[in-house]
Structure 1
């Protein structure tokens, strides 16, 4: 399931708690009606999800969706945070999930779990894993639980803001984990497009840099970055154009340096990708911060 763009998320927290469970407490096998983060503070648990088993240690988090039949079991006395939420909700008011939780059979429990992907503007789509380590998150979980329990004025909106912060932290953590994976198969091509964005690269030239056949190169390129080579090169040009615009470089020089045949063509391409003309982008008060983040 593709969850859309992170920028379009309109989350709502349905339930949040910090609790302690004795050894051998089980949740499931079951379906939940929403999504859930289950974060272990101390103790230990086991996640049974499809054919896989995951040991959940302190500092690790479980991510579950509405189509995942799962069984969570504590093996020791375990302190944990649990947050149920929706990715997209018109209303931020919590809707407790308990009445819609359904039991599941052992056969359903062994079914292959659904995968969940989310788009990150300016980066490749990422798959949100069902089990991952994450740091610097306990204080944020604590704030979510505090808002949920106390129900202070406008608390649903505060929960929405905190949930967006949590999702951002989870996404950044998983992007960092991906960055630590073995070297990219298409690294030489990515480097070439970054260093020479104005060159009219062909797929054959880029594939040759990586020692692949062009058709195979196109497939693995899309797998790694979520775009074809032409789209990626355009994105790289626009990214560098933003940086040059904010440094005060003349628009005609930017266009020529990025391989555009004319200012008109460059301006049309820039507006198509960003929704703004180069001059409009340069005048936006928050543009400098946006470009700094993209670097």
Structure 2
């Protein structure tokens, strides 16, 4: 874990351009900001209708499964836990964990299963803490509600493009997958007792403004008092609610965001290390290098050399 700065106030940086954010985003639309920074995009869609007894492995890639008929089991390869899902259920694996989908033969003669599977690509794997803080598997059970009604519309659009492909169908499928991914994240985070992470914080009306401020200007000399004021909370109430919703204190979260911003600048620019350190909110190059090495296991200059030699 990145060691948080000694205090939240280091040095101001240029504002939203550190992360390339669009100043036209609606206020506090953190989900749009973060998905843009991760550069997640839908890739392709496939239909599965295997024999009644089966086990199909899916490699490490962001995956979405829309269960059309029957019942199947889903198991993350690194875990022994098995989830059973059925018609109308939606399964999202946002972190790209390798997994298997199989029949339910242990429950008797399984009904023939049929489902759609979509995959996603992550354009910026360095934004690791954004994805790693999400559950390995998110399941929305079929049963109605506005969220699933919207997903059903998207599913029907996918079927049209898959059954009658025409010019532009590949792009249509990719964009619909993007929409489904966002709909699932929204519905999961708005549900009862979501796990603490940035998404739960982003959708919390009392914490969302603080996260949005941090991501829009990670190099600003933020203090807990500043962020609490933006959320109309006392310092203690804000710190407690932030940790409960996000899963880490404000200073630790800020440190992660600053280092993510630094990764982008190291990769995409030729700026000197000292300038990057200042841009993302560190008072000195040595302080930045220590924090960077603690998190990534090597100094920023070496990380940049290794990245460019690949």
With the length of structure 1 as denominator, give the TM-score of the two structures.
0.47
Q: Which structure carries more strand by proportion?
A: 1
Which entry has the higher C-alpha Rg, 1 or 2?
1
Of structures 1 and 2, the one with the larger relative CO (CA 8 A, separation 6+) is: 2
Calculate the TM-score normalised by the size of structure 2: 0.45
